Amino acid sequence: METSKKTIIVFSGDYDRAIAAFIIANGAAAMGDQVTMFFTFWGLNILRKPNRVKTQGKSLLQKMFGWMMPRGAGKLGLSKMNFLGLGPILMKKAMRDKNVMSLEDLIASARRQGVKLVACTMSMDVLGIAKEELFDDIEYAGVASYLAEADEANVNLFI
Amino acid sequence: METSKKTIIVFSGDYDRAIAAFIIANGAAAMGDQVTMFFTFWGLNILRKPNRVKTQGKSLLQKMFGWMMPRGAGKLGLSKMNFLGLGPILMKKAMRDKNVMSLEDLIASARRQGVKLVACTMSMDVLGIAKEELFDDIEYAGVASYLAEADEANVNLFI
Amino acid sequence: METSKKTIIVFSGDYDRAIAAFIIANGAAAMGDQVTMFFTFWGLNILRKPNRVKTQGKSLLQKMFGWMMPRGAGKLGLSKMNFLGLGPILMKKAMRDKNVMSLEDLIASARRQGVKLVACTMSMDVLGIAKEELFDDIEYAGVASYLAEADEANVNLFI
């Protein structure tokens, strides 16, 4: 089968949905596909560095968003059975017990395999997320860039 | 690039997901694509007129759904950080601060650009939403119509 | 129109999203399309048998997941307006009132029409769901199998 292209919009910042997105992305990359993941709205939280990063020029509102939103893969909640944060702990243990890669490992694997991670600049603007708060070496783009890639892809998902 | 077609099923009635759907739709229309958005279940609330509309023949259950569901783009909640309605207010302010179009403006822009808005008749039946409660000049169809359009499109999303 | 292929990833275990997934699947099958539905994470609950099934070798954590997650289509909640389980009851009544097929009937219809139901083995492993807890005569596969099918399909949705 010839190499083909996939795009995934990662809108959700839920741990379980992020796992699903990265398992599909890693699977496709392993089969030789080009994969682009566009992170928008709450999905941006998956790309946040876990430590606090000093930023300038944020409005009070943007600072508030920054405080309230989870910093990175380790802090995300579940879309179901979150139980005030107990759910993710149990889910991670269940994944370890079954030797399923953690979200952090799935992200690292995706990057090693050349999956393109793109942060939506408009969402970053609205939520007040600065580039230095996100992983280094990712790309930044808007909807036109997404659409250009989706036009070339044969599988396009919104998660 | 030749003109191509996109379909988006808008199942969710969350403000943030609606924003994402209409940004993609507007972007694609601006690039010359034909875009059809199918509104089903809670997504129908995005198309509701903000004022109360007199209707006939609703069952008590359908009236209850009508009371409980938000009337139009201005009343929608967020999928995350809704905080009993404070979240959407903050999100709208953050969008205004960054000169991002409001959902109402995005909908108006989509209509001006010829994006086809289709309400799912089966969902309307179940939830007891009458045509006169929804925007004028939209279309009404079912799953067969969606599938016929999706077959011709190169990007099909479920939001 | 020639026969074509559709895939749907059913990640969500919400009653309303499951209804949407099966209405699309049934519609496409009725038009002669090959349809494959991949059930992963909470979506697996849609395929659970309603009665308790004895299983062996589950960890305590897996047993807990099993107790907490709904057993089959009849027990699912709504993504919105669930009201501690009242929402699904009202939604089912509204559907009956309008002669819309129940989720159970939609599933039965999909199976009669040859829609392929596939349970994600990795999610089963993590959540500790055994084959004997799911409907008989479904298939089991992982992400590689999904991607192979999606590559041949012209509509791929994530619900």
Shortest CA distance from B90: residue in chain A: A61
Q: How many angstroms away from the CA of A58 is the closest CA of chain C?
A: 33
Taking a C-beta distance cutoff of 8 angstroms, is the pair A41, A158 a contact?
A: no
| Interchain pair B20, A9: CB under 8 A | yes
The residue type of C10 is: V
Q: Give contacts of C83 with chain B, Cβ < 8 Å.
A: none
Residues A83, C145: Cα–Cα separation, whole Å: 33
pLDDT of residue B47: 98
Pick C100's closest partner by Cβ from B65, B122, B128. B122
Give the pLDDT confidence of B18-71 residue by residue, as tens digits: 999 999 999 999 999 999 999 999 999 999 999 999 998 899 999 999 999 999
Query: For the segment C76-88, what is each residue's pLDDT rounded down to a tens digit?
Result: 999 999 988 999 9
What would the pLDDT profile of A104-136 be if each residue is shown by its tens digit?
999 999 999 999 999 999 999 999 999 999 999
- State pLDDT tens for residues B113-153: 999 999 999 999 999 999 999 999 999 999 999 999 999 99
Nearest chain A residue to B24 by CA distance is A143
CB contacts < 8 A, B to C, total: 68
The verdict on B17 touching A (C-beta cutoff 8 Å) is: yes
Residue of A143, A149, A152 for testing the chain B interface, max B β-carbons within 10 Å? A143
Q: How confident is the model at residue C3 (pLDDT cuts 50, 70, 90)?
A: low
Q: What pLDDT was estimated at residue B2? A: 56
pLDDT at B3: 62
Tens-place pLDDT, residues A20-62:
999 999 999 999 999 999 999 999 999 999 999 999 889 999 9
Question: How many helices (H) and strands (E) would you count in chain B?
Answer: 6, 5
From the list A80, B126, B14, the residue with the least C-alpha distance to C90 is B126
| Ranges of H-type helices in A46-98 | 60-68, 86-97
pLDDT digits (tens, 9 = 90+) for B90-114: 999 999 999 999 999 999 999 999 9
A41 vs A46, A52, B24, C21, CA distance in Å? 10, 19, 13, 24
Q: What sign results for the dihedral spanned by CA atoms B29, A128, C11, A37? A: positive
CB atoms within 10 A of CB A53: 15
Give the per-residue pLDDT at A1. Answer: 45
* Residue pLDDT, tens place only, C16-41: 999 999 999 999 999 999 999 999 99
CB contact at 8 A, A1 and A148:
no
pLDDT for the residue numbered B1: 45
The Cα B88–Cα A9 span in angstroms is 22
Flag if B155 and A157 touch (Cβ within 8 Å): no
Q: Tell me which chain B residues have a C-beta less than 8 angstroms from the C-beta of C97.
A: 59, 61
Set of chain B residues whose Cβ sits within 8 Å of the Cβ of A120? none
Chain A: nearest CA to C145, how far in angstroms? Answer: 10
SS3 for A19? helix
**A93: nearest CA partner in chain C:** C61
Q: Is the pTM of this model over 0.90?
A: yes
pLDDT (0 to 100) of residue C1? 45
Question: Which of C28, C81, C91 is opposite residue B147, by nearest beta carbon?
Answer: C28
User: What pLDDT sits at residue A97?
Assistant: 95
Interface A–C counts its CB contacts (< 8 A) at 71
- Do A156 and C156 lie within an 8 Å CB cutoff? yes
Q: Is A94 on the interface with C (CB under 8 A)?
A: yes
pLDDT digits 0-9 by tens, A3-30 = 699 999 999 999 999 999 999 999 999 9
Q: Which residues of A touch C68 (CB under 8 A)?
A: 81
Can you tell me the mean pLDDT for C70-76?
95
Q: Which residue of C has its CA nearest to A156?
A: C156
Please, are residues B120 and B144 in contact by the beta-carbon 8 Å criterion? Answer: no
What pLDDT is stored for residue A31 in this prediction? Answer: 96
> What is the Cα–Cα distance from B139 to B54, expressed in whole angstroms?
21
Distance of alpha carbon B146 from alpha carbon C28, whole angstroms: 10
Do the Cβ atoms of C122 and A155 come within 8 Å? no
